[in-house]
């Protein structure tokens, strides 16, 4: 997504950009943010991966499924002391 | 020496071929020639091979025949032809792992450890086998090489990702093949093709010089048409391997001589709850096996849905870590289904992957407690018999599910904690389906004893397809 051209400085610019945007968004009462789409865009940018627009629905479908499964795991309380098992030793 | 080229080895057991070769009743060369002829004739139907190592196989067979002619002994797999899923390194071939991208790799310089060990026991490598792309697959379909086809019905899936392994053994091309199993990729094709398949305890069989998928879940193992042949291969491949960082430092524990011990003293239960079958064919198979074993109690694995969820998360994140550079540089060269899942896996936060690993430890502790009460648990291997190639959805009870992700419904929660499993085929009509015999870690001997007993009772068998 391209950034909009910078406007002239004013007193209001003292507010950080992310807060300004949040206030604007709140005033507009926008549609609910699609966090999966946002995560996908931000993750792709951070990792340097290009996701073709034609692939987005398929990727988003899989990511939603993975996050749903992860949420089921998160809902299961585990003691802090539980060791992860990245290399399983039977 | 009786050496009739016309001898048909297609349906002969590996154990019988080895005996005949070792006793000089037939030459290893004639076994290899008959095998190559069978592959030329039948593989265009099955699409199971991606490379046939003819020259190498002939040289190897000649060497075995020369050894015998000098009066020297041959190994327990003398002259037995076998083939490997194309994620195993085969010296001189690029290791495809079912991927278009890997065709650009240089040829492997050395065989995978398990190939070396089988050949040290006298077996003869015949070639490399079709598989689902990068093993991220339960169907046996492959966009680049075409689908491997089920010998029992050529319009149906083999199951995957070791689809070529299932087709080649069930179709009588070779008596033995190697596959890999991260979430079910040996047990699913064993079920849909009607074969015995082994996923040993994690760390038991070396993965050295194989192309990985999800490292903390990857297992290697054999598929065969009898428990005895499966055991012969397993015994030849066991033992620690310094080339595989997770190979267990345990000596080989051969089980071929223990198969006939029967069921005496074994406590066997049926997996309940999540594993209760919801299709007539899976129910018939499990009920038949349970009745033959006298298994009349149920036992429930704890939090199985979450175990499967954690397996999915770990698979997604580990496999994406493996393929991240290729996703950046060659995204168009993946098949869409694999690419979409890998890209999604890249976006899963690390905190959730660690949570899945923590759950894995908890689940393992709980499941191991079950094995103080029982020696083995039986469970369905797949929810259904082989779907049609290209079929997208399956109906399981009242629920409609995607085929691609759900053929491993019953296998994922077991491999998740590395338990040993022998998949045993139940020859239902018109299509076979398998049952998992699940044992405690390092007790493959228990699963093998049960598999062999079921075979002796006539409950388990690899049915011969009309080929």
pTM: 0.92
Q: Indicate if the pLDDT at residue A16 is higher than 70.
A: no
| B185 tagged catalytic | yes
Calculate the alpha carbon distances from B113 to A87, B116, B169, B174 in Å: 21, 5, 21, 20
Cα angle, residue B328 at apex, residues B327 and B334 outer, rounded to 5°: 30
Q: How far apart are CA A36 and CA A42, in angstroms?
A: 10
How high is the pLDDT of residue B466?
87
- Decide if B161 is catalytic: yes
Interface of B with A in 382-411 (CB under 8 A): none
Give the Cα-Cα-Cα angle B163, B167, B93 (nearest 5 degrees): 65
DSSP code for B270: E
Polymer length of chain A: 90
CA distances from B203 to A44, B173, B176, B258 (A): 35, 29, 21, 22
Instruction: Give percent of chain A with pLDDT exceeding 90.
Output: 51
What's the CA gap between B18 and B438, in Å, rounded? Answer: 29
Domain contains B320: yes
Q: Do A44 and B418 touch (CB under 8 A)?
A: no
Do B152 and B194 contact (CB within 8 A), yes or no?
yes
What are the DSSP E strand ranges found in B147-218? 149-150, 153-157, 176-181, 196-199
Hey, is B95 helix, strand or coil? coil
Mean pLDDT by 10 residues, chain B (467 residues): 56 97 97 97 98 98 98 97 98 98 98 98 98 98 98 98 98 98 98 98 97 97 98 98 95 97 97 94 97 97 97 97 97 97 97 96 96 97 97 90 94 97 97 98 98 98 94
| Count of CB atoms situated within 10 Å of the CB of B40 | 12
- Banded model confidence at residue A2, pLDDT cuts 50, 70, 90: very low
pLDDT band at A20 (very low <50, low <70, confident <90, very high): low
Which of A63, A84, A88 is opposite residue B344, by nearest beta carbon?
Answer: A63
pLDDT score for B396 = 87
d(CA B387, CA B223): 20
Quote the pLDDT of residue A15. 60
- Give the Cα separation of B427 and B457 in Å (integer): 13
Q: What's the domain count of chain B?
A: 1
**Residues from A in contact with B at Cβ < 8 Å:** 39-40, 43-44, 47-52, 55, 58-63, 65-67, 69-70, 72-74, 76, 78, 82-90
pLDDT at site A23: 58
Whether B29 is a known active-site residue: answer no
b or e along B442-462 (b: 16 or more beta carbons within 10 Å of the residue's beta carbon)?
bbbbbbbbbbbbbbeeebbbb
User: Is B8 domain-assigned?
Assistant: no
- Bridge partners of B350, per DSSP, are none
Residue B263 lies in a domain: yes
B107 CB-near residues (< 8 Å, 6+ apart): B91, B92, B93, B94
The boundaries of the domain holding residue B438 are 14-456
Q: What percent of chain B is modeled with pLDDT above 90? A: 96
A84:B347 CB<8 A: no
Give A88's DSSP letter: -
Residue B156, domain member (yes or no): yes
Contacts A–B by Cβ distance under 8 A = 126
At B62 the pLDDT is: 98
- Cβ contact B185:B160 at 8 Å: yes
Cα torsion angle, B337, B343, B346, B347, sign: negative
Residue-wise pLDDT for A25-59, tens only, equals 556 655 566 899 999 999 999 999 999 999 999 99
Give me the pLDDT at residue A34, please. 86
- Residue in B48, B185, B206, B256 annotated catalytic: B185
Q: How far is A67 from chain B (nearest CA, A)?
A: 7
Give the count of alpha carbons within 13 A of B321, CB side only: 14
Q: Using CA coordinates, name the residue in chain A closest to B417.
A: A88
CA B386, distance to chain mean position in Å, is 16
Residues of A in contact with B361 (CB under 8 A): 82-85
Residue-level pLDDT at A4: 46
Q: Do A90 and B360 touch (CB under 8 A)?
A: no
CB atoms within 10 A of CB A5: 5
pLDDT digit string, tens, across residues B141-156: 999 999 999 999 999 9
Catalytic residue among B29, B48, B85, B180: B85
Q: Does B228 touch chain A (CB under 8 A)?
A: no
Q: State the pairing for strand pair B81-85/B176-181.
A: parallel
Give residues 183 to 222 of B whose Cβ lies within 8 Å of A: 201-203, 216-217
DSSP readout, B298-323? EE--TTHHHHHHHHHHHHHHHHHHHH
At B288, which CATH number?
3.90.1300.10
CA B88 to chain A, closest CA, distance in angstroms equals: 21
Confidence of residue A17 (pLDDT cuts 50, 70, 90): low
- What proportions of chain B, in percent to the nearest 5, are helix, strand and coil? 40, 15, 45
Going by pLDDT thresholds of 50, 70 and 90, the confidence category of residue A8 is: very low
Q: Name the helix (H) or strand (E) containing B439.
A: strand B433-439
Report if residue B6 sits inside a domain: no
Q: Which of B199, B344, B353, B415 to mutate against chain A (most A CBs within 10 Å)? A: B344
For residue B410, the SS3 value is coil
């Amino acid at each position: 997504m391209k950034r909009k051209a910078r406007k002239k400085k004013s007193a209001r610019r003292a507010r950080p950009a992310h807060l300004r945007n949040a206030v604007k968004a709140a005033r507009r009462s926008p549609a609910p943010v699609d966090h999966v789409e946002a995560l996908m865009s931000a993750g792709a940018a951070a990792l340097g991966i290009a996701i073709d627009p034609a692939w987005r629905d398929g990727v988003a479908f899989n990511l939603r499924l993975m996050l749903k499964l992860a949420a089921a795991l998160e809902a299961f309380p585990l003691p802090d002391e539980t060791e992860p098992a990245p290399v399983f030793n039977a | 020496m009786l050496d009739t080229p016309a001898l048909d080895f297609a349906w002969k057991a590996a154990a019988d071929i080895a005996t005949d070769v070792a006793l000089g009743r037939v030459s290893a060369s004639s076994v290899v020639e008959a095998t190559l002829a069978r592959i030329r004739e039948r593989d265009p139907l099955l699409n199971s091979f991606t490379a046939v190592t003819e020259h190498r196989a002939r040289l190897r067979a000649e060497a075995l025949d020369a050894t015998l002619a000098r009066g020297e002994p041959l190994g327990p797999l003398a002259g037995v032809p076998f083939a490997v899923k194309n994620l195993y390194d085969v010296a001189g071939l690029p290791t495809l792992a079912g991927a278009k991208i890997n065709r650009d790799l240089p040829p492997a310089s050395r065989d995978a450890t398990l190939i070396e060990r089988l050949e040290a026991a006298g077996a003869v490598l015949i070639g490399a086998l079709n598989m689902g792309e990068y093993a991220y697959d339960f169907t046996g379909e492959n966009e680049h090489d075409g689908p491997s086809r089920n010998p029992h019905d050529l319009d149906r899936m083999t199951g995957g990702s070791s689809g070529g392994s299932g087709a080649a053994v069930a179709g009588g091309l070779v008596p033995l093949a190697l596959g890999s199993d991260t979430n079910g990729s040996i047990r699913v094709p064993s079920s849909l093709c009607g074969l015995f398949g082994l996923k040993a305890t994690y760390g038991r069989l070396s993965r050295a010089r194989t192309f990985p998928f999800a490292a903390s879940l990857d297992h290697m193992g054999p598929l065969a048409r009898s428990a005895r042949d499966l055991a012969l291969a397993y015994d030849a491949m066991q033992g620690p391997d310094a080339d595989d960082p997770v190979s267990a430092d345990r000596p080989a524990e051969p089980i071929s001589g223990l198969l006939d011990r029967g069921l005496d003293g074994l406590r066997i239960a049926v997996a309940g709850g999540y594993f209760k079958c919801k299709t007539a064919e899976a129910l018939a198979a499990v009920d038949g096996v349970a009745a033959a074993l006298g298994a009349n109690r149920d036992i429930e694995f704890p939090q199985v849905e979450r175990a499967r969820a954690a397996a999915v998360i770990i698979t997604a994140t580990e496999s994406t870590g493996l393929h991240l550079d290729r996703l950046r540089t060659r995204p168009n060269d993946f098949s869409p289904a694999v690419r979409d899942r890998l890209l999604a896996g890249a976006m899963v936060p690390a905190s959730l992957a660690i949570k899945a690993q923590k759950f894995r430890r908890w689940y393992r502790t709980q499941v191991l407690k079950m094995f103080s009460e029982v020696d083995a648990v039986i469970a369905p291997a797949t929810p259904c018999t082989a779907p049609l190639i290209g079929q997208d959805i399956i109906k399981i009870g009242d629920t409609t599910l995607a085929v691609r992700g759900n053929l491993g419904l019953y296998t994922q929660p077991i491999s998740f904690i590395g338990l040993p499993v022998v998949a045993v085929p139940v020859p239902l009509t018109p299509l076979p389906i398998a049952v998992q015999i699940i044992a405690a870690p390092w007790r493959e001997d228990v699963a093998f004893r049960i598999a062999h007993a079921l075979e002796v009772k006539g409950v388990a068998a690899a049915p011969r397809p009309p080929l």
